[in-house]
Structure 1
Amino acid sequence: MNVDLFDFDLPAERIALRPVAPRDSARMLLVTPNGLADRIVSDLPDALRPGDLLVFNDTRVIPAQLEGTRGAARIGATLHKREGPRRWRAFVRNARRLRDGDVVDFGAGVTASAVDREEDGSWALVFAGEEPVELLLERAGRMPLPPYIAGKRDTDARDADDYQTMFADRPGAVAAPTAALHFTPALLAALDRTGIGHATLTLHVGAGTFLPVKAEDTDDHRMHAEWGRIDAAAADRLNAVRAAGGRVIAVGTTSLRLIESATGDDGIVRPFEGDTSIFITPGYRFRGIDGLMTNFHLPRSTLFMLVSALMGLETMQAAYAHAIASDYRFYSYGDASLLLP
């Protein structure tokens, strides 16, 4: 499909630079075949049905943004995928100043060798020493805010909490599964009382989620792989909910993509562990999910293509036009949408 079909104009003032407080007071646009309805996130218990299951991503964002030097050259790196115990694939700023084998000093006693540059411009960074890389990043790294936020303000201490979900448990993501940022213990308790359950899976979100689609046709776009895991207990839970007539509602496109990667043509979710580079565009037949809660996404992005595949392009164009006209807040720290086809 032509990528221009997924373009739209978004006023800069619609981009949220901070989340609302409390988290579950964010606005939520309900999108169904019957039309649009303006709600708030704390309305979720009334918007869903007893027996439904929300599926969260329990990945934890690591401080994956690094600033360093190679000689006199300043080098910036954003880690996006672990390739080994001490090796991470990274997008590098000022990469033209690097040669294979160069050592970059990120301060605080943290150094890494840059090797194996790929066609997309990324490098593998191999960290020196014996300390776990997670400890090195805690010393030298910063929270990797999305470029549309980081370009407008500096990362600060608030982001260390604001950019983690209440489910964050397994370190490895370099971007938050932002739909789950709206949840609070109070909201989860209200959902439980209503008979709406929840389960978790793990997808370590990579920085590739923010890369623009530069191809003119979706068939020519290459998705970056991300590592994920659904254990047997979670797979059984998802299958049991649907067998009993409930709906599986993915919280975030990361949860959705992993569930779809683990679901066969028979609609059965199976345990999964490994990389997925699934790319969902209109025409895709969803097999493992019945709905999606997600934030509002960038024009021409793979994520806007995904929601258009779920609800229909015209429906999502109308929903986004309504959200812009109604002053909804967009992107990672913005408001939510609940999509129930």
Structure 2
Amino acid sequence: MKISDFDFFLPPERIAQHPAQPRDTAGLLHVTQTALEDRIICDLPHLLRPGDLIVANDTRVIPAQLTSRRGNATIGITLDQPNPDGTWHALARNTRRVQPGDILTITENFAAEVITKDPDGGVTLRFNLTGESFFVALRDVGELALPPYITRPSGPSARDAQNYQTIFAQREGAIAAPTAGLHFTPALLQDLQARQIDRATITLHVGAGTFLPMRTDNIKDHRMHAERGEISLPIAARINATRKNGGRIVAIGTTVVRLLESATTEDGVTHPFNDRTSIFITPGHRFRAVDAMVTNFHLPRSTLFMLVCAFMSTPHMHAAYAHAIAKNYRFFSYGDACLLDPA
């Protein structure tokens, strides 16, 4: 398959620069195998079934962009993923001036040592602060790494710091928001519960690699970035019990899909998980864990558009996206969503 198979034209004005307010008034395109239905997010409880389980990502976005100095050189840093040994993988700008052993000074009391340097601009950093002290310093001086298609000439605003965080956010570590979760409100969660639709959370820390474009023409040549995820034993048991009792697993976003598919074996059993995943889901993938998903509208030629094509078929998703563009749906992180419902 070629990357051009997943291309489409998106008018620039369809790219959302701000989220809908209230969040659950965003558009929702209900996509089944036979129909496309225009709804809004707060209709979701009536589109799901009693006994279904929605699974959301509880990662919390950190202000991952830092400005550091090494001598007279300014080095921009975008944190990517924490490593098990306490170091961080990061993407750095102006890396020709950086070598292992260098100290990058962020503030008088906040600095990082360069441990390794990759040919592609990646670095491994060891900060002088750890634990909560590290995150306190990060919140003081870091900036959100908003996607490049969200235009902020003066940088992310205080409103963005609120808008770019989901209601499920608990565990700090994401560079980008799991954007399908941005649509959920306390009222929507109450309505879901009233309809006997339960919820569970798992964790996938979205890395900076999510912003990187594919650079290969043949999708088989693409190397997917790795992200760290966790599914606890009790949550895995609830997922398996839901499936056993005839309920559906409804993933809130592609991050949840990728983690559940990584943790579920061919027999349909979801197992506890605490590792990195670099799963790349393309047409032909046999889904083992997910029965339906809520997801935003994705970029053309992106791995996420390939994932939804794998879930519903490529022609069907091209038709759904053409409908969404014609009906003025809003695209990407701050945009509207679709409910992919193949059953």
Work out whether the TM-score is over 0.5.
Answer: yes
Distance 1:130-1:212 versus aligned 2 partners, 3 A rule: closer
Residue type of the partner of 1:259?
A: L
Distance 1:217 1:139 in 2: 43
Residue 226 of structure 1 corresponds to: 227
Identity score, percent: 55
Deviation at 1:101, TM superposition (A): 2.2
Match of 1:308 in 2: 309
- Secondary structure class of the residue paired with 2:338: strand
Matches within 5 A, 1:119-138: 119-129=119-129, 132-138=133-139
In structure 1, distance between residues paired with 2:282 and 2:152:
29
In structure 1, runs of 5+ residues without a counterpart are none
Q: Within 1, Cα distance between the matches of 2:130 and 2:48?
A: 49
Q: What is the alpha-carbon distance in structure 2 between the residues aligned to residue 167 and residue 115 of structure 1?
A: 34
Does residue 1:204 correspond to 2:205, yes or no? yes
CA distance in 2, matches of 1:297, 1:146: 12
* Aligned partner letter, 1:104: L
Q: What amino acid is aligned across from residue 172 of structure 1 in structure 2?
A: G
Matched, 1:258 2:259: yes
Which amino acid in structure 2 is aligned with residue 98 of structure 1?
V
Instruction: Please show how residues 106-125 of structure 1 align to structure 2 within 5 Å.
Output: 106-107=106-107, 109-125=109-125
Following superposition, the deviation at residue 166 of structure 1 comes to 0.7
User: What is aligned with 2:33?
Assistant: 33
Question: Secondary structure, in 3 states, of the residue corresponding to 2:150?
Answer: helix
Corresponding residue for residue 43 of structure 1: 43
Contact 1:108 1:139 in 2 (8 A): no
Greater mean deviation of Cα atoms: 110-119 or 209-218: 110-119
8 Å CA contact 1:235, 1:269 repeated in 2: yes
Count of residue pairs brought into register by the alignment: 341
How many Å apart are 1:136 and its aligned residue? 2.2
Answer yes or no: is 1:83 the counterpart of 2:83: yes
SS of 1:106's partner is strand
Aligned to 1:148, the other structure's residue is in SS state coil
Give the whole-Å Cα distance in 2 for the aligned partners of 1:130 and 1:210. 26
RMSD between aligned residues = 1.5
Structure 1 residue 74 corresponds to structure 2 residue 68: no
Q: Secondary structure at the match of 1:297?
A: coil
Structure 2: gaps (5+ residues): none
User: Equivalents in 2 of 1:129, 1:172: separation in Å?
Assistant: 15
Please give the alpha-carbon distance, in whole angstroms, between the structure 1 residues aligned to 2:33 and 2:154. Answer: 39
1:112-161: CA deviation from partner (whole Å, max 9, x where unpaired): 12231124321112212567321221122112211221566620111111
Matched, 1:291 2:286: no
Q: Which residue of 2 aligns with 1:167?
A: 168
> Residue 65 of structure 2 contacts residue 78 of structure 2 at CA under 8 Å; is this kept in 1?
yes
Query: Using the alignment, how far apart are the partners of 1:96 and 1:329 within structure 2?
Result: 39
Q: Give the letter for the 2:71 counterpart.
A: G
What is the distance in 1 between the residues matched to 2:226 and 2:259? 11
Q: 1:209-264: per-residue Cα shift (whole Å, max 9, x none)? A: 12101011111111111111111111111111111111101000011111101100
Matched residue, 2:216:
215
Residue equivalent to 1:235: 236
Aligned residue in 2 for 1:181: 182
Deviations 1:69-107 (A, max 9, x none): 222222211111101454111111222232222222223
Question: How high is the TM-score relative to the length of structure 2?
Answer: 0.96
Q: Which runs of 4+ in 1 moved over 3 A?
A: 129-132, 150-153
3-state DSSP of counterpart to 1:38: strand
1:108·1:140 contact (CA, 8 Å) conserved in 2? no
User: Does the Cα contact within 8 Å between 1:77 and 1:90 map onto a contact in 2?
Assistant: yes
Q: 1:147 aligns to what SS in structure 2?
A: coil
Partners of 1:184 and 1:108 in 2: CA distance: 40
